[in-house]
Amino acid sequence: MQPSKIIKIFVAAAAILMVAACSDLFHQYRSVEGGWMPTDTLTFQYHSSAEGPGHCAVDIELRSGSSYPYKEIVLRVESASRILRRSVVDTLVCELYDASGHPHGSTSGILRQTSHPCGTIDILPSDTIEIKITHLMDDAPIDGILDVGVRLSQPGRHQF
């Protein structure tokens, strides 16, 4: 077998294993087209089952266009548990371009999509998790950010 075919088979097998090794519990976007004001709070709610998913990774995803003028965006991310009655606030710096000016993430035409790890969260059985996101940029409104999303995933658990 040719070395290039072996590499292609290996890459395909690795991709399948990565998809099977991580299960998305929640994945939603909110649109911010037309300008995102610092006072505009994007809210996401996840309702866990009676079993509760346990330990989950949180990723913030951005879809941006070519009109976004900065190499990064700074976000305030607040996650709250209804059962525990406590919230955690974090500041997330999302780099959209590298130091050479090349975009991070995947592109499709003028649309760019990036994913930014935002730590982990423990979700209890029958809990409601609320995640609120605002931007901390000086400009108001900021243009070029089209959608903001939240992904909750659980490593090692897969659903077929």
Mean pLDDT by runs of 10 across the 160 residues of the chain is: 48 40 83 89 93 89 90 96 91 92 84 93 92 93 94 68
- Is residue 117 one of the residues assigned to a domain? yes
- Is residue 46 one of the residues assigned to a domain? yes
pLDDT value of residue 11? 38
pLDDT value of residue 139? 83
C-alpha 57/C-alpha 60 separation (Å) is 10
- Is residue 99 one of the residues assigned to a domain? yes
- Is residue 115 one of the residues assigned to a domain? yes
- Is residue 3 one of the residues assigned to a domain? no
- Is residue 4 one of the residues assigned to a domain? no
Note the pTM of the prediction, 2 decimals: 0.80
CATH number where 98 lies: 2.60.120
- Domain boundaries, position 79: 23-155
- Is residue 17 one of the residues assigned to a domain? no
C-alpha 133/C-alpha 4 separation (Å) is 44
Total structural domains within the chain: 1
98: Cβ–Cβ under 8 A, 6 or more apart, which residues? 104
